[in-house]
């Protein structure tokens, strides 16, 4: 790899934001029209994606795990900085595939690439993105704004991360594996809903039960979840199979709290925040023991 | 490594910016009082630092390579996001040392840590920092603003990266090795000078000759450098030893252009921008052949 050549060939063509000076400078001027937020996620081959995942899908995942955080806070993705630690024996065609996936989803989510770094490594492919976002309101919607009595909502389906990973590892349905490799995430429409209605919000990345417990704890509440109400990747009446999908993680859906009588377009009510602390699970009105592991911390 | 525990134990204590919500949320609210810039640098064990460098010095280097870019643009370091890909067999005391070095220099340069990520890796320690900066003027000073006839200035000494690396590898003087591990960088005072006087500016990270050629090219100029005028880590009259120090890189000093009759406090005049393109080196008034490699691209 010759960094400067690869940057010119693959990365500079993605750069259009005037503040980025076509990557010909040392820093980017950040755009800022109102309150801005930032998130940073790193994904490592063999940890956050499979070492044999096609690299265009890895590039898409990198953008999505970051954009999901921005949407979940009631904000619009704005500008990205990208760091690639590229394995010393990696070939240029693979690099081009990675960049094509990144480019595809930067465009999909309206993100301008404004800077970053490209280095060689003796280790696994390691990708880091810093993504900024423009708040729709004057501040991001935090995890901590919920109150007892409010309802808990989620959009999309929960469990695709786990169902899809199994398919990718065991040669299951290709469309399921694809849901692991390129997670479906929320859109600006959902971010607008968060900004309009949510008292607390976050993306579900480590498992619905774990992230739900975190949102409730940050809000000083406990929570109840009706397992029968959770929209699932693989619908089932089997309680332990539901719990499995609710703890698998890699969902990248939005979990939010809102006033209980609100209709939240595109979201499904799955429970409520409570005064008494801790997590209580119900299925068909019966209390269900919470699993010992609520999710996947990574 | 248990990510959540290590984040709570080592990283949360560094976080004071209100927009960071004590890292209890998914995003940070960026501070913005006027035009903001951002830079991102990644350093990898065995590439950008020696695998046996003490990790507190590695943490300092991570902050410094980023802060140097911000100062060189006429801006004040503001807020950082930090990604650590930590080797699976790394021990907690080493992690604590890394964080202590980062904390030391975040404080040194007045930077608030506002977010980031911590992941495990089967590869070498890989550190990425995104650093924002507040422009002293309404925009960063670019590489591209220089004009023929202006003088070229540098602060501090050139060559410590190379001299220090040799000392670190060969058991040379400890104070020289330290200059490689924890480079001295510029300060807010120098950033103010950049903002007040520089028409073009950048930090010297890949070698004075290479970075000088880049600044000149970005400004549509050529340049002349008087090798005898360059302040050196290891002063010498030997032309090839001067060239060696001017191509070693890892200097993290500021190179700027300014009107030729200006006195630039803290900086030394070492040459000028010219109408004729390309790099010309002089020593005692004699033209010197430019080396085939002007610096180190990394």
Task: Please tell me the predicted confidence (pLDDT) of residue B18.
Answer: 81
Q: C-alpha dihedral over B236, B238, B239, B244, to 10 degrees?
A: -70
Question: What confidence tens digit (pLDDT) does each residue in B252-276 have?
Answer: 999 999 999 888 999 999 999 999 9
Q: Calculate ∠ Cα A252-A298-A81, nearest 5°.
A: 65
Give me chain A's average pLDDT, please: 94
Q: Tell me which chain B residue has its CA closest to the CA of residue A39.
A: B27
- Please check whether residue B119 touches A, CB under 8 A: yes
- Please check whether residue B83 touches A, CB under 8 A: yes
E strands along chain A, which residues? 28-29, 36-44, 75-87, 112-121, 126-135, 151-155, 200-204, 222-226, 253-258, 267-274, 279-283, 286-288
Query: What span, in angstroms and rounded, lies between the C-alpha atoms of A85 and B262?
Result: 42
Q: Is the pLDDT of residue A31 over 80?
A: yes
Most B-contacting residue of A28, A32, A40 (CB-CB within 10 A), to test interface: A40
Task: Please tell me the predicted confidence (pLDDT) of residue A29.
Answer: 87
B 27-56 near A (Cβ less than 8 A): 27-30, 32, 35-44, 46-48
Q: Is the pLDDT of residue B33 over 80?
A: no
Q: Are B184 and B156 in contact (CB under 8 A)?
A: yes
Q: Is the pLDDT of residue B2 over 90?
A: no
Q: Tell me which chain A residue has its CA closest to the CA of residue B22.
A: A218
Q: Is the pLDDT of residue A1 over 80?
A: no
Residue B73 exposure: Cα atoms within 13 Å on the Cβ side: 27
State how far residue B263 is from chain A, nearest Cα, in angstroms.
25
Percent of chain B with pLDDT over 90: 85
The verdict on pTM exceeding 0.80 is yes
Most B-contacting residue of A25, A51, A138, A251 (CB-CB within 10 A), to test interface: A25
- Assigned CATH topology for domain A3-135: 60s Ribosomal Protein L30; Chain: A; (3.30.1330)
Domain with CATH 3.90.650.10 in chain B: 143-288
Report which secondary-structure segment, H or E, holds B204.
strand B200-204
A152: its two tokens = 């808990």
Residue B64 exposure: Cα atoms within 13 Å on the Cβ side: 27
Whether the complex's predicted ipTM surpasses the cut of 0.85: yes
Q: Is the pLDDT of residue B12 over 70?
A: yes
Architecture of domain B143-288: Alpha-Beta Complex (3.90)
Most A-contacting residue of B6, B7, B17, B25 (CB-CB within 10 A), to test interface: B25
Q: Is the pLDDT of residue A67 over 90?
A: yes
- Please check whether residue B220 touches A, CB under 8 A: no
Domain with CATH 3.30.1330.10 in chain B: 3-135
Q: Are B249 and B176 in contact (CB under 8 A)?
A: no
- Are A114 and B38 in contact (CB < 8 Å)? yes
B 197-216 near A (Cβ less than 8 A): 202-203
For residue B136, which of B204, B38, B40, B34 has the smallest C-alpha distance? B34
Query: What span, in angstroms and rounded, lies between the C-alpha atoms of B209 and B165?
Result: 19
Mean pLDDT of A255-262: 94
**Banded pLDDT at B26 (limits 50, 70, 90):** confident
Q: Are A69 and A131 in contact (CB under 8 A)?
A: yes
Task: Please tell me the predicted confidence (pLDDT) of residue B138.
Answer: 92
User: What is the DSSP track for A87-135?
Assistant: ETT--HHHHHHHHHHHHHHHHHTTPEEEEEEEEEESSS-EEEEEEEEEE
- Contact list in A for residue B126 (CB cut-off 8 A) is 85, 121, 123, 126
Residue A72: count of CB within 10 angstroms of its CB: 31
Question: What confidence tens digit (pLDDT) does each residue in A32-52 have?
Answer: 878 999 999 999 999 999 999
Question: What confidence tens digit (pLDDT) does each residue in B97-107 have?
Answer: 999 999 999 99
Q: Is the pLDDT of residue B298 over 70?
A: no
Question: What confidence tens digit (pLDDT) does each residue in A266-298 have?
Answer: 999 999 999 999 999 999 999 999 998 898 765
């Amino acid at each position: 790899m010759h960094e400067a050549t690869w940057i010119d060939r693959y990365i500079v063509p993605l750069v259009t934001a005037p503040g980025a000076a076509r990557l010909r400078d040392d820093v980017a001027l950040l755009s800022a029209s109102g309150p801005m937020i930032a998130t940073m996620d790193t994904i490592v081959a063999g940890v956050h994606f499979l070492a044999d995942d096609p690299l265009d899908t890895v590039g898409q995942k990198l953008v999505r795990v970051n954009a999901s955080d921005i949407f979940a806070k009631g904000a619009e993705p704005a500008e990205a900085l990208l760091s690639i630690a590229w394995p010393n024996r990696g070939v240029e065609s693979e690099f081009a595939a990675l960049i094509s996936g990144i480019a595809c989803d930067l465009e999909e989510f309206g993100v301008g690439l404004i800077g970053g770094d490209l280095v060689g490594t003796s280790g696994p492919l390691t990708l880091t993105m810093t993504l900024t976002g423009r708040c729709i309101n004057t501040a991001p919607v935090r995890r901590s704004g919920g109150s007892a009595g409010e309802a808990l909502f989620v959009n999309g389906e929960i469990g695709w991360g786990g169902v899809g990973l199994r398919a990718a590892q065991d040669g299951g349905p290709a469309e399921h594996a694809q849901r692991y490799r390129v997670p479906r995430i929320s859109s600006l429409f959902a971010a607008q809903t968060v900004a309009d209605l949510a008292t607390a919000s976050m993306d579900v990345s480590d498992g619905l039960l774990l992230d739900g417990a975190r949102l409730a704890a940050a809000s000083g509440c406990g929570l109840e979840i009706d397992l029968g109400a959770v929209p699932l990747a693989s619908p089932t009446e089997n309680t332990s199979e539901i719990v499995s999908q609710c703890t698998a993680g890699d969902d990248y859906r939005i979990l939010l709290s809102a006033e209980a009588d609100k209709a939240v377009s595109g979201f499904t009510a799955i429970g409520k925040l409570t005064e008494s602390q801790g997590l209580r699970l119900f299925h068909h009105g019966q209390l269900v023991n919470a699993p010992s592991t609520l999710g996947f911390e990574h």
